Amino acid sequence: MTATVSSPAERRRHKIRARILSAAEQVFAREGAAGLSIRRLAENIDYSPAAIYKYFKSKDELVDELKETFFELILENVHRIADRSTPFAERSRDCVATYIRIATEKPHHYAAAFAGESPEGEGPVDGEPGFGATKKGQAFNVLRGMIAEGVENGVFRSEVDPSLAAKSLWASMHGLTMMIVHIPSFPALKANQKTLSRENFILFHADQLIRGLEAHHG
Amino acid sequence: MTATVSSPAERRRHKIRARILSAAEQVFAREGAAGLSIRRLAENIDYSPAAIYKYFKSKDELVDELKETFFELILENVHRIADRSTPFAERSRDCVATYIRIATEKPHHYAAAFAGESPEGEGPVDGEPGFGATKKGQAFNVLRGMIAEGVENGVFRSEVDPSLAAKSLWASMHGLTMMIVHIPSFPALKANQKTLSRENFILFHADQLIRGLEAHHG
DNA sequence: CTATTTAAGTGAACAGTGTTTACTTTTTGA
DNA sequence: TCAAAAAGTAAACACTGTTCACTTAAATAG
Protein backbone atom coordinates (compact mmCIF):
# COMPACT_ATOMS: atom_id res chain seq x y z
CA MET A 1 0.00 0.00 0.00
CA THR A 2 2.63 2.52 1.03
CA ALA A 3 5.30 2.54 -1.65
CA THR A 4 8.69 4.14 -1.16
CA VAL A 5 7.59 7.59 -2.24
CA SER A 6 9.87 9.29 0.26
CA SER A 7 13.07 10.93 -0.76
CA PRO A 8 16.26 10.27 1.23
CA ALA A 9 15.82 13.65 2.89
CA GLU A 10 12.30 12.85 3.91
CA ARG A 11 13.30 9.47 5.28
CA ARG A 12 16.12 11.00 7.25
CA ARG A 13 13.76 13.58 8.67
CA HIS A 14 11.27 10.92 9.61
CA LYS A 15 14.00 8.93 11.28
CA ILE A 16 15.07 11.83 13.46
CA ARG A 17 11.47 12.55 14.34
CA ALA A 18 11.13 8.95 15.46
CA ARG A 19 14.35 9.26 17.45
CA ILE A 20 12.97 12.27 19.27
CA LEU A 21 9.66 10.54 19.92
CA SER A 22 11.43 7.46 21.20
CA ALA A 23 13.54 9.44 23.63
CA ALA A 24 10.47 11.38 24.71
CA GLU A 25 8.50 8.17 25.21
CA GLN A 26 11.05 6.79 27.64
CA VAL A 27 10.96 9.84 29.87
CA PHE A 28 7.21 10.28 29.51
CA ALA A 29 6.41 6.70 30.49
CA ARG A 30 8.30 7.11 33.73
CA GLU A 31 7.65 10.72 34.69
CA GLY A 32 4.72 11.96 32.64
CA ALA A 33 4.27 15.18 30.73
CA ALA A 34 5.46 17.34 33.60
CA GLY A 35 8.72 15.44 33.91
CA LEU A 36 9.41 15.66 30.22
CA SER A 37 11.13 18.94 29.46
CA ILE A 38 12.33 20.06 26.07
CA ARG A 39 15.73 20.84 27.49
CA ARG A 40 16.17 17.41 29.07
CA LEU A 41 14.91 15.77 25.92
CA ALA A 42 17.30 17.77 23.76
CA GLU A 43 20.20 16.81 25.99
CA ASN A 44 19.27 13.13 25.79
CA ILE A 45 19.63 13.14 22.02
CA ASP A 46 22.52 15.62 21.89
CA TYR A 47 20.56 18.38 20.26
CA SER A 48 19.87 21.95 21.21
CA PRO A 49 16.42 22.67 22.65
CA ALA A 50 15.59 24.84 19.65
CA ALA A 51 16.27 21.95 17.27
CA ILE A 52 13.22 20.08 18.58
CA TYR A 53 11.08 22.86 17.18
CA LYS A 54 12.25 22.04 13.68
CA TYR A 55 10.40 18.75 14.04
CA PHE A 56 7.51 19.60 16.35
CA LYS A 57 5.90 22.95 16.56
CA SER A 58 5.22 22.63 20.27
CA LYS A 59 5.63 20.30 23.19
CA ASP A 60 1.90 19.63 23.06
CA GLU A 61 2.13 18.38 19.50
CA LEU A 62 4.93 16.04 20.47
CA VAL A 63 3.03 14.69 23.45
CA ASP A 64 -0.11 14.33 21.33
CA GLU A 65 1.72 11.91 19.09
CA LEU A 66 2.76 9.83 22.07
CA LYS A 67 -0.86 9.73 23.22
CA GLU A 68 -2.20 8.74 19.81
CA THR A 69 0.30 5.90 19.57
CA PHE A 70 -0.77 4.77 23.00
CA PHE A 71 -4.44 4.74 22.08
CA GLU A 72 -3.55 2.72 19.02
CA LEU A 73 -2.31 0.07 21.41
CA ILE A 74 -5.55 0.09 23.37
CA LEU A 75 -7.61 -0.06 20.21
CA GLU A 76 -5.67 -3.02 18.86
CA ASN A 77 -6.18 -5.00 22.04
CA VAL A 78 -9.86 -4.20 22.37
CA HIS A 79 -10.43 -4.99 18.72
CA ARG A 80 -8.78 -8.36 19.05
CA ILE A 81 -11.13 -9.30 21.89
CA ALA A 82 -14.21 -7.90 20.16
CA ASP A 83 -13.55 -10.02 17.09
CA ARG A 84 -13.39 -13.26 19.02
CA SER A 85 -16.17 -15.80 18.74
CA THR A 86 -16.49 -16.55 22.44
CA PRO A 87 -19.92 -16.26 24.08
CA PHE A 88 -21.28 -12.75 23.91
CA ALA A 89 -21.48 -11.90 27.62
CA GLU A 90 -17.96 -13.14 28.24
CA ARG A 91 -16.68 -11.26 25.23
CA SER A 92 -18.26 -8.01 26.42
CA ARG A 93 -16.73 -8.34 29.82
CA ASP A 94 -13.34 -9.07 28.31
CA CYS A 95 -13.52 -5.96 26.15
CA VAL A 96 -14.16 -3.78 29.14
CA ALA A 97 -11.53 -5.52 31.21
CA THR A 98 -8.94 -5.34 28.45
CA TYR A 99 -9.43 -1.62 27.99
CA ILE A 100 -8.80 -1.05 31.67
CA ARG A 101 -5.91 -3.50 31.85
CA ILE A 102 -3.99 -2.09 28.91
CA ALA A 103 -4.77 1.51 29.80
CA THR A 104 -3.48 1.18 33.35
CA GLU A 105 -0.22 -0.27 32.13
CA LYS A 106 0.81 3.18 31.04
CA PRO A 107 -0.74 5.44 33.66
CA HIS A 108 0.88 8.67 32.53
CA HIS A 109 -0.19 8.13 28.97
CA TYR A 110 -3.77 7.49 29.92
CA ALA A 111 -4.03 10.38 32.33
CA ALA A 112 -2.52 12.76 29.81
CA ALA A 113 -4.75 11.49 27.03
CA PHE A 114 -7.82 12.75 28.84
CA ALA A 115 -6.48 15.67 30.77
CA GLY A 116 -5.21 18.16 28.24
CA GLU A 117 -3.89 19.30 31.61
CA SER A 118 -6.63 21.92 31.69
CA PRO A 119 -10.25 21.11 30.86
CA GLU A 120 -10.69 22.59 27.44
CA GLY A 121 -9.02 21.38 24.30
CA GLU A 122 -9.96 17.93 23.18
CA GLY A 123 -10.39 16.23 19.86
CA PRO A 124 -13.67 15.71 18.07
CA VAL A 125 -16.47 13.88 19.88
CA ASP A 126 -19.12 11.46 18.73
CA GLY A 127 -21.32 13.01 16.09
CA GLU A 128 -18.63 15.32 14.77
CA PRO A 129 -16.92 14.49 11.47
CA GLY A 130 -13.37 13.66 12.56
CA PHE A 131 -14.37 11.38 15.41
CA GLY A 132 -13.87 8.08 13.63
CA ALA A 133 -10.42 9.21 12.56
CA THR A 134 -8.98 9.35 16.07
CA LYS A 135 -7.99 6.11 17.72
CA LYS A 136 -10.03 7.13 20.71
CA GLY A 137 -13.09 7.46 18.50
CA GLN A 138 -12.49 4.11 16.88
CA ALA A 139 -12.26 2.43 20.25
CA PHE A 140 -15.60 3.96 21.15
CA ASN A 141 -17.18 2.72 17.95
CA VAL A 142 -16.09 -0.82 18.69
CA LEU A 143 -17.82 -0.52 22.03
CA ARG A 144 -21.03 0.78 20.52
CA GLY A 145 -21.08 -1.96 17.93
CA MET A 146 -20.75 -4.50 20.68
CA ILE A 147 -23.69 -3.10 22.59
CA ALA A 148 -25.82 -2.92 19.44
CA GLU A 149 -25.08 -6.59 18.90
CA GLY A 150 -26.19 -7.36 22.43
CA VAL A 151 -29.47 -5.54 21.97
CA GLU A 152 -30.17 -7.41 18.75
CA ASN A 153 -29.30 -10.69 20.45
CA GLY A 154 -31.78 -9.95 23.17
CA VAL A 155 -29.01 -10.28 25.72
CA PHE A 156 -29.29 -6.60 26.55
CA ARG A 157 -32.52 -4.74 27.30
CA SER A 158 -34.30 -3.57 24.19
CA GLU A 159 -34.77 -0.02 25.48
CA VAL A 160 -31.08 0.74 25.66
CA ASP A 161 -29.81 2.99 22.92
CA PRO A 162 -26.38 1.67 21.90
CA SER A 163 -24.90 5.10 21.36
CA LEU A 164 -26.06 6.37 24.72
CA ALA A 165 -25.22 3.20 26.59
CA ALA A 166 -21.80 3.07 24.99
CA LYS A 167 -21.00 6.50 26.36
CA SER A 168 -22.21 5.51 29.79
CA LEU A 169 -20.23 2.28 29.71
CA TRP A 170 -17.17 4.06 28.43
CA ALA A 171 -17.44 6.59 31.24
CA SER A 172 -17.48 3.76 33.78
CA MET A 173 -14.48 2.04 32.23
CA HIS A 174 -12.76 5.38 32.15
CA GLY A 175 -13.61 5.89 35.80
CA LEU A 176 -11.94 2.78 37.13
CA THR A 177 -8.98 3.35 34.87
CA MET A 178 -8.54 6.87 36.15
CA MET A 179 -8.87 5.72 39.73
CA ILE A 180 -6.13 3.15 39.29
CA VAL A 181 -4.02 5.64 37.40
CA HIS A 182 -4.35 8.50 39.86
CA ILE A 183 -4.46 6.55 43.10
CA PRO A 184 -1.69 3.96 42.81
CA SER A 185 -2.99 1.93 45.72
CA PHE A 186 -6.53 1.79 44.33
CA PRO A 187 -8.44 -0.35 44.90
CA ALA A 188 -7.20 -0.71 48.46
CA LEU A 189 -9.06 -3.88 48.93
CA LYS A 190 -9.29 -5.71 52.15
CA ALA A 191 -12.92 -6.32 51.41
CA ASN A 192 -14.30 -9.04 53.66
CA GLN A 193 -10.90 -9.93 55.08
CA LYS A 194 -9.92 -11.21 51.68
CA THR A 195 -7.30 -9.41 49.67
CA LEU A 196 -8.51 -9.15 46.10
CA SER A 197 -6.08 -8.58 43.33
CA ARG A 198 -6.49 -5.68 40.96
CA GLU A 199 -7.33 -8.14 38.24
CA ASN A 200 -10.26 -9.48 40.22
CA PHE A 201 -11.46 -5.98 40.86
CA ILE A 202 -11.41 -5.16 37.17
CA LEU A 203 -13.43 -8.29 36.45
CA PHE A 204 -15.97 -7.42 39.12
CA HIS A 205 -16.31 -3.94 37.70
CA ALA A 206 -16.74 -5.18 34.15
CA ASP A 207 -19.29 -7.73 35.30
CA GLN A 208 -21.22 -5.07 37.16
CA LEU A 209 -21.38 -2.83 34.09
CA ILE A 210 -22.58 -5.57 31.77
CA ARG A 211 -25.21 -6.58 34.34
CA GLY A 212 -26.65 -3.09 34.13
CA LEU A 213 -27.30 -3.63 30.44
CA GLU A 214 -28.64 -7.16 30.58
CA ALA A 215 -32.27 -8.11 30.14
CA HIS A 216 -33.72 -10.11 33.03
CA HIS A 217 -34.43 -13.47 31.55
CA GLY A 218 -36.12 -15.88 33.89
CA MET B 1 -18.14 23.77 70.41
CA THR B 2 -15.40 26.05 69.16
CA ALA B 3 -15.00 28.83 71.71
CA THR B 4 -13.14 32.03 70.97
CA VAL B 5 -9.77 30.68 71.97
CA SER B 6 -7.95 32.66 69.31
CA SER B 7 -5.92 35.73 70.11
CA PRO B 8 -6.32 38.88 68.02
CA ALA B 9 -3.12 38.00 66.21
CA GLU B 10 -4.36 34.55 65.42
CA ARG B 11 -7.66 35.85 64.18
CA ARG B 12 -5.93 38.39 61.97
CA ARG B 13 -3.70 35.70 60.56
CA HIS B 14 -6.67 33.49 59.87
CA LYS B 15 -8.43 36.35 58.14
CA ILE B 16 -5.54 36.99 55.78
CA ARG B 17 -5.25 33.30 55.05
CA ALA B 18 -8.91 33.33 54.12
CA ARG B 19 -8.36 36.39 51.98
CA ILE B 20 -5.61 34.63 50.07
CA LEU B 21 -7.73 31.52 49.68
CA SER B 22 -10.67 33.57 48.46
CA ALA B 23 -8.60 35.34 45.84
CA ALA B 24 -7.07 32.04 44.82
CA GLU B 25 -10.50 30.40 44.57
CA GLN B 26 -11.73 32.99 42.10
CA VAL B 27 -8.84 32.47 39.72
CA PHE B 28 -8.80 28.72 40.23
CA ALA B 29 -12.49 28.29 39.47
CA ARG B 30 -12.05 29.99 36.13
CA GLU B 31 -8.60 28.89 35.04
CA GLY B 32 -7.57 25.93 37.14
CA ALA B 33 -4.33 25.20 38.91
CA ALA B 34 -2.19 26.02 35.90
CA GLY B 35 -3.73 29.46 35.52
CA LEU B 36 -3.22 30.26 39.17
CA SER B 37 0.27 31.62 39.70
CA ILE B 38 1.69 32.83 42.98
CA ARG B 39 2.78 36.05 41.36
CA ARG B 40 -0.64 36.83 39.92
CA LEU B 41 -2.27 35.90 43.19
CA ALA B 42 0.08 38.13 45.15
CA GLU B 43 -0.65 41.03 42.83
CA ASN B 44 -4.39 40.53 43.25
CA ILE B 45 -4.16 41.03 46.98
CA ASP B 46 -1.37 43.62 46.87
CA TYR B 47 1.21 41.42 48.46
CA SER B 48 4.63 40.31 47.39
CA PRO B 49 4.89 36.73 46.08
CA ALA B 50 7.09 35.78 49.00
CA ALA B 51 4.42 36.89 51.47
CA ILE B 52 2.19 34.01 50.39
CA TYR B 53 4.80 31.65 51.76
CA LYS B 54 4.27 33.03 55.25
CA TYR B 55 0.79 31.54 55.11
CA PHE B 56 1.19 28.50 52.88
CA LYS B 57 4.35 26.51 52.61
CA SER B 58 3.77 25.73 48.94
CA LYS B 59 1.34 26.30 46.11
CA ASP B 60 0.30 22.68 46.45
CA GLU B 61 -0.73 23.18 50.05
CA LEU B 62 -2.80 26.20 49.06
CA VAL B 63 -4.53 24.32 46.26
CA ASP B 64 -5.09 21.34 48.53
CA GLU B 65 -7.18 23.53 50.81
CA LEU B 66 -9.30 24.66 47.90
CA LYS B 67 -9.85 21.05 46.93
CA GLU B 68 -10.80 19.97 50.44
CA THR B 69 -13.33 22.80 50.71
CA PHE B 70 -14.76 21.71 47.41
CA PHE B 71 -15.15 18.12 48.52
CA GLU B 72 -16.86 19.38 51.62
CA LEU B 73 -19.51 20.79 49.31
CA ILE B 74 -19.94 17.48 47.53
CA LEU B 75 -20.13 15.60 50.81
CA GLU B 76 -22.80 17.95 52.19
CA ASN B 77 -24.98 17.49 49.16
CA VAL B 78 -24.61 13.74 48.99
CA HIS B 79 -25.23 13.44 52.70
CA ARG B 80 -28.43 15.43 52.44
CA ILE B 81 -29.77 13.07 49.80
CA ALA B 82 -28.62 9.95 51.61
CA ASP B 83 -30.47 11.01 54.77
CA ARG B 84 -33.79 11.41 52.97
CA SER B 85 -36.60 8.96 53.54
CA THR B 86 -37.56 8.54 49.91
CA PRO B 87 -37.74 5.01 48.45
CA PHE B 88 -34.39 3.30 48.52
CA ALA B 89 -33.82 2.82 44.79
CA GLU B 90 -34.69 6.42 44.05
CA ARG B 91 -32.52 7.64 46.88
CA SER B 92 -29.53 5.64 45.62
CA ARG B 93 -29.88 7.04 42.14
CA ASP B 94 -30.14 10.56 43.50
CA CYS B 95 -26.97 10.13 45.51
CA VAL B 96 -25.04 9.09 42.45
CA ALA B 97 -26.60 11.81 40.32
CA THR B 98 -25.97 14.48 42.92
CA TYR B 99 -22.32 13.62 43.22
CA ILE B 100 -21.89 14.00 39.48
CA ARG B 101 -24.01 17.12 39.28
CA ILE B 102 -22.24 19.02 42.02
CA ALA B 103 -18.80 17.80 40.99
CA THR B 104 -19.18 18.93 37.41
CA GLU B 105 -20.21 22.41 38.50
CA LYS B 106 -16.60 23.09 39.39
CA PRO B 107 -14.68 21.19 36.73
CA HIS B 108 -11.24 22.49 37.60
CA HIS B 109 -11.69 21.64 41.25
CA TYR B 110 -12.77 18.11 40.51
CA ALA B 111 -10.06 17.44 37.97
CA ALA B 112 -7.40 18.80 40.29
CA ALA B 113 -8.74 16.84 43.24
CA PHE B 114 -7.91 13.58 41.54
CA ALA B 115 -4.99 14.49 39.38
CA GLY B 116 -2.24 15.52 41.74
CA GLU B 117 -1.10 16.63 38.28
CA SER B 118 1.16 13.61 38.19
CA PRO B 119 -0.01 10.16 39.24
CA GLU B 120 1.58 9.74 42.60
CA GLY B 121 0.80 11.62 45.75
CA GLU B 122 -2.70 11.17 47.08
CA GLY B 123 -4.24 11.08 50.48
CA PRO B 124 -5.01 7.97 52.46
CA VAL B 125 -7.24 5.31 50.91
CA ASP B 126 -9.86 2.99 52.33
CA GLY B 127 -8.41 0.79 55.02
CA GLU B 128 -5.77 3.26 56.06
CA PRO B 129 -6.22 5.21 59.30
CA GLY B 130 -6.69 8.77 58.03
CA PHE B 131 -9.23 7.89 55.39
CA GLY B 132 -12.34 8.84 57.31
CA ALA B 133 -10.78 12.21 58.13
CA THR B 134 -10.68 13.43 54.54
CA LYS B 135 -13.91 14.70 52.99
CA LYS B 136 -13.27 12.40 50.08
CA GLY B 137 -13.12 9.46 52.44
CA GLN B 138 -16.31 10.50 54.19
CA ALA B 139 -18.16 10.74 50.91
CA PHE B 140 -17.04 7.21 50.12
CA ASN B 141 -18.25 5.95 53.46
CA VAL B 142 -21.71 7.39 52.84
CA LEU B 143 -21.78 5.46 49.60
CA ARG B 144 -20.74 2.22 51.22
CA GLY B 145 -23.33 2.62 53.93
CA MET B 146 -25.98 3.07 51.31
CA ILE B 147 -25.00 -0.09 49.50
CA ALA B 148 -24.86 -2.06 52.75
CA GLU B 149 -28.40 -0.90 53.44
CA GLY B 150 -29.48 -2.08 50.00
CA VAL B 151 -28.00 -5.51 50.56
CA GLU B 152 -29.79 -5.84 53.91
CA ASN B 153 -33.03 -4.69 52.33
CA GLY B 154 -32.72 -7.37 49.70
CA VAL B 155 -32.89 -4.71 47.02
CA PHE B 156 -29.31 -5.45 46.04
CA ARG B 157 -27.87 -8.90 45.38
CA SER B 158 -26.74 -10.65 48.51
CA GLU B 159 -23.34 -11.59 47.08
CA VAL B 160 -22.17 -8.04 46.65
CA ASP B 161 -19.64 -6.87 49.19
CA PRO B 162 -20.53 -3.27 50.09
CA SER B 163 -16.94 -2.15 50.37
CA LEU B 164 -15.99 -3.61 47.03
CA ALA B 165 -19.15 -2.51 45.26
CA ALA B 166 -18.84 1.00 46.66
CA LYS B 167 -15.41 1.32 45.08
CA SER B 168 -16.73 0.05 41.79
CA LEU B 169 -19.70 2.37 41.90
CA TRP B 170 -17.54 5.28 42.93
CA ALA B 171 -15.22 4.59 40.02
CA SER B 172 -18.16 4.73 37.62
CA MET B 173 -19.46 7.98 39.07
CA HIS B 174 -15.96 9.33 38.88
CA GLY B 175 -15.76 8.23 35.28
CA LEU B 176 -18.73 10.17 34.01
CA THR B 177 -17.72 13.17 36.08
CA MET B 178 -14.24 13.13 34.60
CA MET B 179 -15.61 12.77 31.09
CA ILE B 180 -17.85 15.79 31.52
CA VAL B 181 -15.04 17.70 33.16
CA HIS B 182 -12.38 16.93 30.59
CA ILE B 183 -14.51 16.89 27.45
CA PRO B 184 -16.76 19.94 27.72
CA SER B 185 -19.08 18.71 24.98
CA PHE B 186 -19.54 15.30 26.60
CA PRO B 187 -21.90 13.63 26.25
CA ALA B 188 -22.33 14.69 22.65
CA LEU B 189 -25.71 13.12 22.49
CA LYS B 190 -27.76 12.95 19.40
CA ALA B 191 -28.76 9.47 20.40
CA ASN B 192 -31.68 8.27 18.33
CA GLN B 193 -32.27 11.67 16.74
CA LYS B 194 -33.24 12.98 20.14
CA THR B 195 -31.06 15.48 21.89
CA LEU B 196 -30.72 14.46 25.51
CA SER B 197 -29.73 16.94 28.11
CA ARG B 198 -26.76 16.33 30.33
CA GLU B 199 -29.12 15.90 33.22
CA ASN B 200 -30.89 13.05 31.47
CA PHE B 201 -27.58 11.45 30.72
CA ILE B 202 -26.56 11.59 34.35
CA LEU B 203 -29.83 9.97 35.36
CA PHE B 204 -29.39 7.21 32.78
CA HIS B 205 -25.89 6.56 34.04
CA ALA B 206 -26.99 6.47 37.67
CA ASP B 207 -29.87 4.15 36.80
CA GLN B 208 -27.52 1.86 34.92
CA LEU B 209 -25.16 1.59 37.87
CA ILE B 210 -27.87 0.82 40.40
CA ARG B 211 -29.29 -1.80 38.03
CA GLY B 212 -25.97 -3.60 38.14
CA LEU B 213 -26.37 -4.02 41.88
CA GLU B 214 -30.04 -4.97 42.01
CA ALA B 215 -31.33 -8.43 42.70
CA HIS B 216 -33.64 -9.82 40.02
CA HIS B 217 -36.99 -10.07 41.69
CA GLY B 218 -39.70 -11.64 39.58
C1' DC C 1 31.18 21.52 -10.63
C1' DT C 2 29.70 25.71 -8.99
C1' DA C 3 26.12 28.92 -7.29
C1' DT C 4 22.04 29.45 -5.02
C1' DT C 5 18.36 28.19 -2.43
C1' DT C 6 16.53 25.49 1.26
C1' DA C 7 16.69 22.92 5.51
C1' DA C 8 19.12 21.79 9.95
C1' DG C 9 21.03 23.22 13.94
C1' DT C 10 22.48 26.62 17.52
C1' DG C 11 23.29 30.31 21.46
C1' DA C 12 21.15 33.71 23.53
C1' DA C 13 17.40 35.85 24.97
C1' DC C 14 12.22 36.57 26.40
C1' DA C 15 8.63 35.85 29.43
C1' DG C 16 7.03 33.07 32.50
C1' DT C 17 6.97 29.72 36.71
C1' DG C 18 7.61 28.10 42.13
C1' DT C 19 10.60 28.91 45.80
C1' DT C 20 14.43 30.68 49.03
C1' DT C 21 17.41 33.89 51.22
C1' DA C 22 18.75 37.99 53.45
C1' DC C 23 16.93 41.99 54.88
C1' DT C 24 13.57 45.60 56.69
C1' DT C 25 9.42 46.89 58.87
C1' DT C 26 5.73 46.18 61.83
C1' DT C 27 3.41 44.12 65.63
C1' DT C 28 3.33 41.82 69.95
C1' DG C 29 4.12 40.79 74.91
C1' DA C 30 6.74 41.18 79.16
C1' DT D 1 10.07 50.96 76.82
C1' DC D 2 12.56 47.40 74.54
C1' DA D 3 13.72 42.95 73.03
C1' DA D 4 11.70 39.15 70.51
C1' DA D 5 8.71 37.38 67.16
C1' DA D 6 6.07 37.80 63.18
C1' DA D 7 4.92 40.05 58.66
C1' DG D 8 6.39 41.64 54.51
C1' DT D 9 9.68 42.46 50.71
C1' DA D 10 13.31 42.82 46.79
C1' DA D 11 16.29 40.12 44.52
C1' DA D 12 17.98 36.07 43.13
C1' DC D 13 18.01 30.84 41.89
C1' DA D 14 16.77 27.29 39.05
C1' DC D 15 13.65 25.93 36.25
C1' DT D 16 10.09 25.99 32.19
C1' DG D 17 8.33 26.52 26.80
C1' DT D 18 9.32 29.24 23.02
C1' DT D 19 11.34 32.53 19.56
C1' DC D 20 14.92 35.06 16.92
C1' DA D 21 18.96 36.03 14.49
C1' DC D 22 22.53 33.56 13.04
C1' DT D 23 25.68 29.89 11.20
C1' DT D 24 26.42 25.56 9.05
C1' DA D 25 25.23 21.76 6.25
C1' DA D 26 22.70 19.69 2.58
C1' DA D 27 19.87 19.61 -1.57
C1' DT D 28 18.78 21.59 -6.02
C1' DA D 29 19.33 24.16 -10.41
C1' DG D 30 22.21 26.05 -14.11
- Which nucleotides of chain D are near protein (any atom < 7 Å from a CB)? 6-12, 15-21, 26-28
Checking if the pLDDT of B3 tops 50, the result is no
Would you state the pLDDT for residue B118? 39
Checking if the pLDDT of B183 tops 90, the result is no
Residue nearest to nucleotide D10 (CA to C1'): B48
Would you state the pLDDT for residue B123? 60
> What's the angle, vertex CA A183, arms to CA B213 and CA A193, rounded to 5?
55
| pLDDT (mean) for B29-43 | 96
Test A171 with B205 for CB contact under 8 angstroms: yes
| pLDDT (mean) for B135-163 | 91
Would you state the pLDDT for residue A3? 45
Would you state the pLDDT for residue A203? 96
Of the two residues B192 and B10, the one the predictor is more confident about is: B10
Interface check for A199 against chain B (CB to CB < 8 A): the answer is no
Q: In the 125-184 stretch of chain B, whose C-beta falls under 7 Å of nucleic acid strand C?
A: none
In 3D space, the residue among A203, A213, A144 whose CA is nearest the CA of residue B209 turns out to be: A213
Nearest DNA or RNA nucleotide to A60 (CA to C1'):
D17
Checking if the pLDDT of B132 tops 60, the result is yes
What stretches of chain A adopt beta strand conformation (E)? Answer: none
> What's the angle, vertex CA B152, arms to CA B83 and CA A213, rounded to 5?
90
Question: What distances in angstroms separate CA B52 from CA A211, B26, B108, one per listed residue?
Answer: 52, 16, 22
**pTM of the complete model:** 0.90
Test B174 with A173 for CB contact under 8 angstroms: no
Low-confidence ranges of chain A (pLDDT < 50): 2-3, 117-121, 193
Would you state the pLDDT for residue B195? 58
Cα distance between residue B117 and residue A126, in whole Å = 27
Q: For B56-80, write each residue's pLDDT tens digit.
A: 999 999 999 999 999 999 999 999 9
Test B111 with A115 for CB contact under 8 angstroms: yes
Cα distance between residue B159 and residue A89, in whole Å = 20
Nearest CA in chain A to B215: A216
Categorize the per-residue pLDDT at B116 as very low, low, confident or very high, splitting at 50, 70 and 90.
low
